[in-house]
Amino acid sequence: MNKEKAAILIDELRKKLNEWAKEYYVLDNPSVDDAEYDKAIHELINLENQFPELITLDSITQKVGGSISDKFEKYTHKYPMLSLGDIFSWEEFLNFNKQVAKITDTENNEYTAELKIDGLSISLIYKDGILQNAVTRGDGKVGENVTNNVRTIKSIPLSIPTKDELEIRGEVFLSKTEFSKINEERLLNGEQLFANPRNAAAGTLRQLDSQIAASRNLDGYLYYYFNEANPINTQMESITQIKELGLKVNPETRICKTLDDVKEYIDYYTKKRNDLDYEIDGIVFKLNDKRLQEEVGYTAKTPKWAIAYKFPAEVKETQLLDIFPSV
């Protein structure tokens, strides 16, 4: 393909993707499914790789998330909230590990394996033991202050037993059971149904009326822990600390000491994913050692020490919308 043709295609893809990203991140109402979005963004990434001179700073491939709603007070993140690079096969995992090995000098890297919950990122800021702020990822630098809604989530404590200033991050989500309940009620009330639990959770968390959030049983699994006064050394320690403070962590999280462990975890949860009462769209592998993480570093959009292994789209399970096709 020549450069002129590529420029036209890139422009078309960016326009389409920007529109879809707005529907997804800002309006919580996507018009296409994730597989279609992912196909288009990977097409764009491939074209930009072929013609790097056509990459612009405002390209969707260079940005985290979408724009921020004016409905909420804005909050500037102390540490950026990044996205994750994604891969779709075992071969791609081996390539990722080889990139990491260039820095760590070994292909025997230790990773945490965490289920990739299909919810939305949240950052919780505790000061003097009290939950002060809860903020969405937004564009990665500035998020929306949704503290009033997060305070209604039963599994997120309003106070914790330490005075250290902490930032704890994770995923807020709706269980499949809750999602079905909400959509059944909406169907009875003649309201538009949510497309999936992720959009229902995002639509709930980004409501101005906290009573609505309080009436829907949002839940949260936390996985990142920032404590400048008492820093920790590994990702697994983050999980342990968070759990000790009384917040919820995903019980399926494991350490993978070898590549065989990684492969086993992928195979197991590829089969088991539909048995869980919450949606996952993949598995996140993170280099366990924090010092090595910093050495491996970051791109503008993602950490280079972590990767999201995405499940194949065809395994995606039936949504309530499929059960009520006439709506």
Q: Which residues bind ligand NAD (CB under 6 A)?
A: 20-21, 23-24, 30, 32-34, 37-38, 65, 83-84, 86, 114, 116-117, 121, 137, 171, 223, 281, 284, 308
Nearer to ligand NAD, 47 or 195 (CB): 195
**How far apart are CB 5 and ligand NAD at their closest, in Å?**
26
Residue 202 annotated as binding? Answer: no
**How far apart are CB 169 and ligand NAD at their closest, in Å?**
8
Measured CA to CA, the distance from residue 206 to residue 163 in angstroms comes to 29
Residue 240's alpha-carbon distances to 150, 156, 223, 233, 247, in angstroms, are: 22, 16, 9, 12, 10
Nearest by Cα to 20 from 283, 207, 199: 199
28: left (phi over 0), alpha (psi -120 to 50) or beta: left
Nearer to ligand NAD, 37 or 225 (CB): 37
- Helix (H/G/I), strand (E/B), else coil: 221: strand
Residue 43 annotated as binding? Answer: no
Contact predicate 63/69, CB 8 Å: no
Q: Which sequence positions are flagged as catalytic?
A: 116
Residue 123 annotated as binding? Answer: no
Nearer to ligand NAD, 46 or 106 (CB): 46
Nearer to ligand NAD, 96 or 223 (CB): 223
Measured CA to CA, the distance from residue 106 to residue 289 in angstroms comes to 13
- Helix (H/G/I), strand (E/B), else coil: 126: strand
Residue 286 annotated as binding? Answer: yes
Contact predicate 84/118, CB 8 Å: no
**How far apart are CB 67 and ligand NAD at their closest, in Å?**
12
Residue 84 annotated as binding? Answer: yes
Measured CA to CA, the distance from residue 146 to residue 205 in angstroms comes to 7
Residue 310 annotated as binding? Answer: yes
Nearer to ligand NAD, 121 or 209 (CB): 121
Contact predicate 41/61, CB 8 Å: yes
**How far apart are CB 174 and ligand NAD at their closest, in Å?**
14
Residue 102's alpha-carbon distances to 96, 105, 297, in angstroms, are: 10, 6, 12
What are the strands of the beta sheet with 166-173, ordered from one edge?
A: 130-136, 120-127, 166-173, 219-226
**How far apart are CB 245 and ligand NAD at their closest, in Å?**
18
Q: Which residue has tokens 């020490």?
A: 305
Residue 34 annotated as binding? Answer: yes
Annotated binding residues, as ranges? Answer: 34-38, 83-84, 114, 137, 171, 286, 310
Annotated binding residues for NAD(+), as ranges? Answer: 34-38, 83-84, 114, 137, 171, 286, 310
